[in-house]
Amino acid sequence: MDFEAVIGLEVHAQLSTESKIFCACSSKFGATPNANACPVCTGMPGVLPVLNRRVVEFAIRAAVATGCTVQRRSVFARKNYFYPDLPKAYQISQYELPIALGGHLDIEAGGVSKRVGITRIHMEEDAGKLIHGGSSAGSQGSLADLNRCSVPLIEIVSEPDMRTAEEASDYLRRLRDILVYLEVCDGNMEEGSFRCDANVSVRPRGQEKLGTRAELKNMNSFRNVEKAIEHEIRRQVELIEDGGTVVQETRLWDADRNETRSMRGKEEAHDYRYFPDPDLLPLVIADAWIDELRQTIPELPVPKSARFTERYGLTIYDASLLASVRALADFFEGAVAAFGKNPKTTANECIQWKDAILANAVSVETIGQVVEDRETGLISATAGKTLIEQSIATGKAVRVLREELGLTQMSDTGELEAVVAAVIAANPKEVEIYKGGKEGLLSFFVGQVMKETKGKANPKIVSEVCRKLLG
Amino acid sequence: MSTIPVHEWTLREAADRIRSGGVSSRELTEAILGRIAAINPKINAWVTVIPEKAMAQAAVFDEMQARGESAGPLHGVPVGLKDIFCTKGIKTTCGSRILHNFVPPYDAAVTERVLCAGAVLLGKQNMDEFAMGSSTETSFFGNTLNPWDPSRIPGGSSGGTAAAVASAMCFAAMGTDTGGSIRQPASLCGVVGLKPTYGRVSRYGMIAFASSLDQGGPVTRTVADAALMLGIVAGHDRRDSTSLDLPVPDYDAALGRDVKGLRVGLPKEYFEGEGLDPQVRAAVDRALAALVAAGAEAVEVSLPHTEYALSTYYLIAPAEASSNLARYDGVRYGHRAEGTSGLIEMMSKTRAEGFGPEVKRRIMIGTYALSAGYYEAFYGKAQKVRTLIRRDFDAAFQKADVLLTPTAPTPAFRIGEKTDDPLTMYLSDIYTIPCNLAGIPGISVPCGMSSEGLPIGAQLLANHFREETLLTAAGAIERAIPLPRVAPFKG
Ligand SMILES: [Zn+2]
């Protein structure tokens, strides 16, 4: 039988606000355990949550950028369960009335464009972290690090609109690109600031009714998300083909073993007893605020990429690669604007030096001047690469290096004509053969000239001059 | 100097005497500490008394006074706090074993405001465990006795607070009221207890029982003292999102106001039910007569959903409590059970040992009310009824400026009389609960004594943020019906 997979994703994105969602503690990653903790986020008696306005602002920006409708009134609710990393024994989240509903994201997988629905976006607080038995010196039991408690998250829930692991991973990448663009999330999957759970089910192709779904957790890279979903689809299809039935459960991805494992029993029996948090008033958002924030949304990757192909004549591949990272796209446009020469070459250089650019190791001037000098024939492509490498290593400007390293090409036609003439005079036999119709010998003369000039001649001009003088 | 003993002074008198140099804060504090030492062993109104800290603080205020400085309107006056308000560096137990050793690293907003006004803190007052009770019998630290008759309960949950004020072991104190916990013990101990409008006083650092109902308020021996305390603790606090950002009126100005033309509503449902002691009824009638004699006008009003208030309250309050009290798991602070293995056993045993039976009962009721499949039928419906109750009051306040009712159906009952029957105990709060559900302010003011010499209080209710009306009307009753302010407890 032919099966089709149905995939929906739940993404938890940690918002890069300075402070936590309900207290003034820093929300920075990597502090000494329990350094970023106060009576509020550690659930001391009598303390109360106060909503961080920046969190709402970030959530609204994410909602607007994904085409969601921001709700004028949303409500925080308590999700009740006992766990030592959850000091209040409830997580403040949004349940029945989230901040945003009904958006979408356009994806492209296998050459096909597709719109994936976004069901909702809601705000919530993160839980802390447990360090278990003996993994820390001197500890017999488990230790709790509450630094992450109450760090703000948004959960973005998609519709079950994806059909392949590739689509899911494309959705995830694009969603991450947008959030990083908006500067609301740093998108780091390894540090857990961008996390994804996947709901996966399969059904015979053509059947409308959804199959029973499994929820996949613990996938901390795009690659793992794709592998886990592929694995899970295969598992479910095989199970059904063998006459079994899929049970609704949570499964953990084990990246070492390349398989998903059931965590049945642990989380299944929870009744979270959600109810509106009486400590927080319903959140009422004025239209004016939403409009104000809408103005701050930058050009997003998809429209930017379209503009790059149209305006600069870039390939779709190059354009979307540059547009996927805001800093890279801004760098590219900065270089084009400042030096104006050949956007395609500029794009290639930006893509080639992407990591260095994003690490702030290369300046707009470096790339721009190299592109400019290549355009004017002052340097070769190879010399350009050397110059950028050297510039990164020494911190010197490329044009200074060009002179120091003697990488300026001979591009002066008159100067080159003399060299070419000398080469022709020295090789009468080859001239004869060339004139006899063996035009492939042109590269011989070019090679001789390059040798004579110790590689400093501009090969393009050399070959033009040779062709001219050889008649 | 006055001829009456210093401890019988009102809060205002005490503050005035210190200000005028007639007495030092140390003298006053020492006198009250002496009284606590003599009386408290028999009344058990305090969980914690901090004599050294109090005397040291009094000395600081005396030095300030000598330099011509004043810390505020309560400069140097000894007061108490219910043991539900967090006090930095001072044990705060909430009447529970689970917090028997908890020392907060922060002050509650109420604590801050009272201390900033210059008060000397004497200690922390006994209460029903987590404010769940109407008799102070559920406290882990033993029950408090009624200073008017030690065979009787002082009411609750702010029983220690009311008993301490009534027996002059402090000049004023702060209690909390979730379903009547300030007003009912004030009524039973013959003192004034005011529950402000929900949101008027910050809940920050006040240990939560039922967050949408809890409100801190003063317990004092006079209406004027209640006005003074309210002016100190009221006001916006950005640490409490439910605290309202409205200007605090001059409550003193309300004290002298005339009640002429004031429309006093009598909710008929409050007088119809069984269980209203005829002596209480008679005392409330006298309070009404006093108001009418002063020019107020009596009108009958109806609060038709009153009969559902108790069951509504006993779904909403336990539901919120079940969530609020879930944090007491032995992981970070408070009691932790010994000799357990594993997380679940540690948490379960900690909670089994740490909470008393009434708290456990309410956690179970609340957990059930919020459970999947029952939420709509219980919690959801209770919220709807709560809206209807609020609308009842909106309608009543169209016809009346203030409502007059009994505070409690009976005077103080005997210790142990209702401990085996939670439902009968819950009925003690039948007149006070609707006010919390509606979020409106209420006050209990002494209006008579029973034939057995037990105090009886009248309750006044007003619309949101009309505490001034309460103070005006309560002041009129107080002036018209002179009663002893301090319980004649001999020890
Ligand atoms: Zn914090």
Prediction ipTM score: 0.96
Q: Quick one: CA dihedral A322, A327, A333, A335, positive or negative?
A: negative
Return all residues near B172 (Cβ < 8 A) that are at least 6 apart: B11, B77, B79, B80, B165, B218, B219, B220, B221, B225, B228, B229
Angle (CA) B449 B472 B291, round 5°: 55
Cα A21 to middle of ligand 1, angstroms: 9
Same domain, B312 and B248: no
Residues B99, B325: Cα–Cα separation, whole Å: 11
Report DSSP state, residue B172: E
Q: Which residues of A touch B (CB under 8 A)?
A: 39, 42-51, 78, 80, 82, 84, 87-90, 142, 144, 271, 273-275, 278-281
**Is omega for the bond preceding B243 within 30 degrees of 0, making it cis?**
no
Determine contact, residues B204/A48, Cβ cutoff 8 Å. Answer: yes
Same domain, yes or no, for B240 and B350? no
Contact present, B284 and B318 (Cβ < 8 Å): no
Q: State whether B321 and B174 are in the same domain.
A: no
Can you name the residues that pair with A116 across neighbouring β-strands?
A105
Band (pLDDT 50/70/90 cuts) for residue B1 is: very low
Residue B49's domain comprises 6-258
Residue A273 and residue B367: Cβ atoms within 8 Å? Answer: yes
Is B96 noted as a catalytic residue in this protein? no
By CA distance, what is A42's nearest residue in B? B332
Helices (H), ranges, A77-141: none
Domains annotated for chain A, with CATH where assigned, are 3-292 (no CATH), 301-404 (no CATH), 413-470 (1.10.10.410)
Q: With contacts defined as CB-CB under 8 Å, which chain A residues touch B333?
A: 44
Residue A49 CA to ligand 1 center (angstroms) comes to 9
Q: Looking at CA atoms only, how far is residue A92 from chain B in angstroms?
A: 11
* pLDDT value of position B491: 55
Euclidean distance between CA atoms B156 and B180, whole angstroms = 8
| Chain B residues with CB within 8 Å of chain A CB | 84-86, 92, 94, 99, 102, 104-106, 108, 203-208, 210-212, 238-242, 319-320, 322-323, 326-329, 331-333, 343, 347, 367, 370-372, 375, 379
Q: Using the predicted structure, report yes or no on whether residue B201 has a pLDDT greater than 80.
A: yes
Domain end residue (candidates: B234, B258, B282): B258
**Per-residue model confidence as pLDDT tens digits over B422-456:** 888 888 899 999 999 999 999 999 999 999 999 99
The mean pLDDT of B224-242, rounded to a whole number, is 98
In this complex, which of B86, B104, B239 lies closest to A50 when CB atoms are compared? B239
Q: Testing the interface with B: which of A145, A279, A281 to mutate, by most B Cβ within 10 A?
A: A279
Q: Which of A453-457, B166-170, B313-317 has the lowest mean pLDDT?
A: A453-457
CA of A148 to the centre of ligand 1 (A): 9
Same domain (yes/no): B29, B155 = yes
A84/B212 CB distance under 8 A = no
Degrees (nearest 5) of the Cα angle A239, A240, A241?
95
The alpha carbon of residue A119 is apart from the nearest alpha carbon of chain B, in Å, by: 23
Among A203, A196, A260, CA closest to A228: A260
Share of chain B above pLDDT 70, in %: 99
B419 band by pLDDT with thresholds 50, 70 and 90? confident
Is B349 a residue of the active site?
no
Contact criterion met (CB < 8 Å) for A46 and B372: no
Please report residues of B whose CB lies closer than 8 A to that of A23. none
Active-site position among B24, B96, B139, B157: B157
Question: Has residue B362 got a pLDDT over 90?
Answer: yes
Is A87 within 8 Å of B238 when comparing Cβ atoms? no
Per the structure, how many domains does chain B have? 2
**Domain end among B258, B287, B321:** B258
* Residue B195 and residue B332 in one domain: no
Q: Which of B15, B63, B219, B148 is nearest to B486 (CA)?
A: B148
pLDDT in tens, B270-299: 998 788 999 999 999 999 999 999 999 999
Which residue intervals of B277-421 are DSSP H helices? Answer: 278-293, 309-324, 343-354, 357-369, 381-399
> Mutate which of B93, B236, B323, B328 to disrupt the A interface (most A C-beta within 10 Å)?
B323
| Distance (Å, whole) CA B136 – CA B141 | 10
pLDDT tens over chain A, length 471 residues: 799 999 999 999 999 999 999 999 999 988 999 999 999 999 999 999 999 999 999 999 999 999 999 999 999 999 999 999 999 999 999 999 999 999 999 998 888 899 999 999 999 999 999 887 655 555 567 889 999 999 999 999 999 999 999 999 999 999 999 999 999 999 999 889 999 999 999 999 999 999 999 999 989 899 999 999 999 999 999 999 999 999 999 999 998 999 888 886 555 567 999 999 999 999 999 999 999 999 999 999 999 999 999 999 999 999 999 999 999 999 999 999 988 768 999 999 999 999 999 999 999 989 988 898 888 878 888 888 999 999 999 989 888 888 888 778 777 778 888 888 888 888 888 888 888 888 888 888 888 888 888 877 888 888 888 888 887
- Of B24, B25, B82, B167, the catalytic one is B82
pLDDT digits (tens, 9 = 90+) for B253-272: 999 899 999 999 999 999 98
- Please tell me whether residues B107 and B236 are part of one structural domain: yes
CB distance A67 to A118 below 8 Å:
yes
Is B16 domain-assigned?
Answer: yes
The pLDDT tens digits of the residues spanning B319-336 come to 999 999 999 999 999 999
Mean pLDDT of chain B: 96
Sheet with B263-267, side-by-side order of all strands: B46-49, B120-125, B78-82, B172-177, B215-220, B192-195, B442-449, B455-462, B402-406, B263-267, B297-301
Give me the CATH number covering residue B222.
3.90.1300.10
Task: Give the end of a domain, one of B382, B416, B445.
Answer: B382
Residue in B122, B139, B149, B148 with CA at minimum distance from that of residue B57: B122
Taking CB atoms and an 8 Å cutoff, what residues of chain A touch B370?
80, 273-275
Global confidence as pTM = 0.91
Contact B342, B330 (CB under 8 A): no
> Is the pLDDT at B153 greater than 50, yes or no?
yes
B244 and B159 share one domain: yes
Contact flag A89-B208 (C-beta cutoff 8 Å): no
Please tell me whether residues B319 and B199 are part of one structural domain.
no
Assess whether B82 carries a catalytic annotation: yes
pLDDT value of position A139? 57
Q: What angle do CA B29, B33, B37 make, to 5 degrees?
A: 170
Q: Do A82 and B106 touch (CB under 8 A)?
A: no
Contact (CB, 8 A) for A228 and A256: no
With respect to residue B473, please indicate whether it lies within any of the assigned structural domains: no
Residues of chain A found within 8 Å of residue B211, distances taken between Cβ atoms: 278-279
**Per-residue confidence (pLDDT) for residue A264, from 0 to 100:** 67
B326, A84: Cβ pair inside 8 Å? Answer: no
Taking an 8 Å cut-off on Cβ atoms, the answer to whether B331 and A84 are in contact is yes
Q: What order do you get walking across the sheet with A214-219 strand by strand?
A: A69-70, A100-109, A112-125, A152-158, A3-14, A194-204, A214-219, A249-254, A259-262
Contact (CB, 8 A) for A58 and A152? yes
Q: Are residues B234 and B313 located together in one domain of the fold?
A: no
- Residue B41, in any domain of the structure: yes
**Least CB–CB distance from B211: residue in A142, A271, A278:** A278
The rounded distance, in Å, linking the Cα atoms of B43 and A223 is: 70
Q: Determine contact, residues B190/B483, Cβ cutoff 8 Å.
A: yes
Domain presence at residue B475: no
Q: How far is the CA of A82 from the centre of ligand 1 (A)?
A: 19
CA–CA separation, A192 and A12 (whole Å): 9
Substitution target from B98, B327, B346, B348 for chain A, most A beta carbons within 10 A: B327
Is B371 in contact with A80 (Cβ distance < 8 A)?
A: no
Residues B21, B168 within the same domain: yes
Chain A residues within an 8 Å CB radius of B240: 48, 50
- The single-letter code of the amino acid at A196 is C
In this structure, what token pair is assigned to residue B121? 């803190």
Total Cβ atoms within 10 A of residue B343: 17
Q: Which of B139, B167, B181, B444 is catalytic?
A: B181
Summarised one tens digit per residue, pLDDT across range B127-137 is 999 999 999 99
